Copies of this chain bind each other. A is one copy, B any other.
Amino acid sequence: MELWYTEKQTESFGITAKIRETLVTEQTDFQKLDMIDTEEFGRMLVLDGMVMTTIKDEFVYHEMVAHPALFTHPNPKHVLVVGGGDGGVIREVLKHPGVEKAVLVEIDGKVIEYSKKFLPEIAGQLENSRVEVIVNDGFMHIHDHKNTYDVIMVDSTEPVGPAAPLFERGFYQGIFEALKEDGIFVAQTDNPWFKADLIQKVNRDVKEIFPITRVYAANIPTYPSGMWTFTMGSKKHDPLQVDETQIPELETKYYTPRLHKAAFVLPKFVEDLTK
């Protein structure tokens, strides 16, 4: 018998992956959580029926959330990751030796628990001494920590279910206040083929709050359309003004100093969404 997992990315289009084994299928307090082992992409975390991460392609998302912002800020010491319970963004953040403390605020403790158990390649740095893991509502944490962080990364699910408030203008205002005077934030903002409206809305909201707003993109095969966008809001530092020759080479598989600015050069139809 062959078992295939199919995700409908839209009402009429999807991806399908042959699976070896189902490791977890559970309704947590917040969402449906499935952990499956696929032949093509290895182990895969699925929340509310949407692929969150896989062993084979996770590096793209996690590197591209973390490094553009951390190499735009000249001296990031205190970093907050909202969501991201699989620990992949945290792993990338810790590659920056100047980061003294990385705080992870994940609303669903089960995501952390099962990621540690089944995705150790991704979650392996959550026990690092520079990391503080908090199981709580990111919205509340932001509200309670004014002028605290150099960089804030929003590694959320889609704007349905528990992550819906993380795409509201009020959340971006809270992030602005939780950042220090030269702070930077970045959020995953879905894909331009099926969710153009979302990219436009976030862009408008962030522009109203932050002096500098930039959008960049990366290729993630298991995410809808294969192209994912990230929106950056910055109080002072512009990612496009960074001197790429001064960026050190990290151990990465996607991000490079050469890609730092190139990732912000968008296809015409995506560029048009940010105007």
Contacts and interface: CB of A to CB of B under 8 A. Distances in A.
A256 B227 contact: no
Interface stretch (A6-14, A128-136, A142-150): A6-14
Chain A interface SS verdict (over half): mixed
A33 B218 CA distance: 33
A30 interface: no
A12 B6 CA distance: 12
A13 to B, nearest CB: 4
Given A219-B226, A225-B221, A253-B268, A15 B17 contact: no
Chain A: number of interface residues, binned into ranges: 35 or more
Copies, count: 2
A57 B193 contact: yes
A219 B227 CA distance: 6
Interface stretch (A36-44, A106-114, A162-170, A178-186): A36-44
Contact of A17 (B12, B261, B268): B12
8 contacts: A13-B18, A13-B41, A14-B16, A219-B225, A225-B226, A254-B268, A255-B268, A259-B266
Interface of A: 6, 10-18, 38-41, 56-57, 60, 193, 217-221, 224-227, 252-256, 258-259, 261-262, 265-269, 271
